[in-house]
Amino acid sequence: MEGFPKFDILKAIYQFYDDYVSQFDFVCQPKCTACCTQHVCITTLEGAFIIAYLKEKKCLNLLDRLNQVDPNRLFSPRLSTNMLAAYCLNRREPPVEEECFSTAPCPFLEDGLCLIYPVRPFACRSFFSQERCDIKGEAVVPPVLVTINILLNQLLEHVDTPGCYGNMIKVLLFLKNEENLGRYFLQQCLMPEGLVPNRPIPGFLFPPEHQREVRKAIDKLALLRIGQIDMKNVLTQILRPGGEHV
């Protein structure tokens, strides 16, 4: 999966995150698939990365599974993470998101395992729980990890401007069209129906008690050097003096 420089940034962010979460203990096990629903949201960069992987593995036909999903029942966010951050930083009430309807399994789930596991999107990588969701009724996530997840979601969206964000199935259905994928790789502005445009980071969202941990994570991210891209430069452009928090 060579050729598109943003793939290298994406891989570096995934690696950073996988290393970061290794400090926590979770009860998640293979074949526990409670979180593998059609609710997953991703960026177009992540979608293009999945398609490039399927192409390389000669299993693009897996995308045919997407056609079996009822698009009317899919959750489609009205706001990206950075749009939501802008509302919060400006102390404005964000529009209410629609209720999530489909709890049907993700089309990439087979026999309790993920068919695209090596390239699963950030949303899937960040599904964790410290207690059994099926018993507890919801995931139990350390609050600081929620903060780091938001920060990395913001960064991924920022890196993927002028791409889009939305339901994974809609993103993949859009990009599986060769013409759309070509336009994405040329970084042309895309306005697909049902997806929202990615935005640059307006400031980071974190509670004051997580400031140290956020700073540590940003300092580590700044050390990433990816081909021609120095992550420190990317982050310096983003960060305002002193950072932003709510």
List residues bridging with 37 in a β-sheet. 105
Length of the chain: 246
113/189 with CB nearer ligand SF4: 113
Cβ atoms of residues 125 and 17 within 8 Å = yes
Minimum distance of ligand SF4 from residue 60's CB (angstroms):
16
User: Residue 15 — φ and ψ, nearest 5°?
Assistant: -65, -45
Minimum distance of ligand SF4 from residue 211's CB (angstroms):
31
Instruction: Identify the helix (H) or strand (E) that includes residue 165.
Output: strand 164-167
83/124 with CB nearer ligand SF4: 124
10/83 with CB nearer ligand SF4: 10
Site of tokens 């969206």: 157
R_g of the chain computed on alpha carbons? 18
Minimum distance of ligand SF4 from residue 228's CB (angstroms):
30
127/184 with CB nearer ligand SF4: 127
User: Residue 110 — φ and ψ, nearest 5°?
Assistant: -140, 130
Minimum distance of ligand SF4 from residue 30's CB (angstroms):
11
**What is the dihedral sign for C-alpha 22, 27, 31, 33?**
negative
User: What's the CA gap between 41 and 35, in Å, rounded?
Assistant: 12
SS3 95: coil
65/245 with CB nearer ligand SF4: 65
List residues bridging with 226 in a β-sheet. 229
Minimum distance of ligand SF4 from residue 113's CB (angstroms):
8
Residues lying near ligand SF4 in the complex (CB under 6 A) are found at: 36, 40, 106, 108-109, 114, 116, 120, 124
Minimum distance of ligand SF4 from residue 183's CB (angstroms):
24
Site of tokens 């293979």: 30
Among candidates 234, 236, 174, which has minimal Cα distance to 10? 234
User: What's the CA gap between 51 and 74, in Å, rounded?
Assistant: 20
Minimum distance of ligand SF4 from residue 114's CB (angstroms):
3
66/109 with CB nearer ligand SF4: 109
6/120 with CB nearer ligand SF4: 120
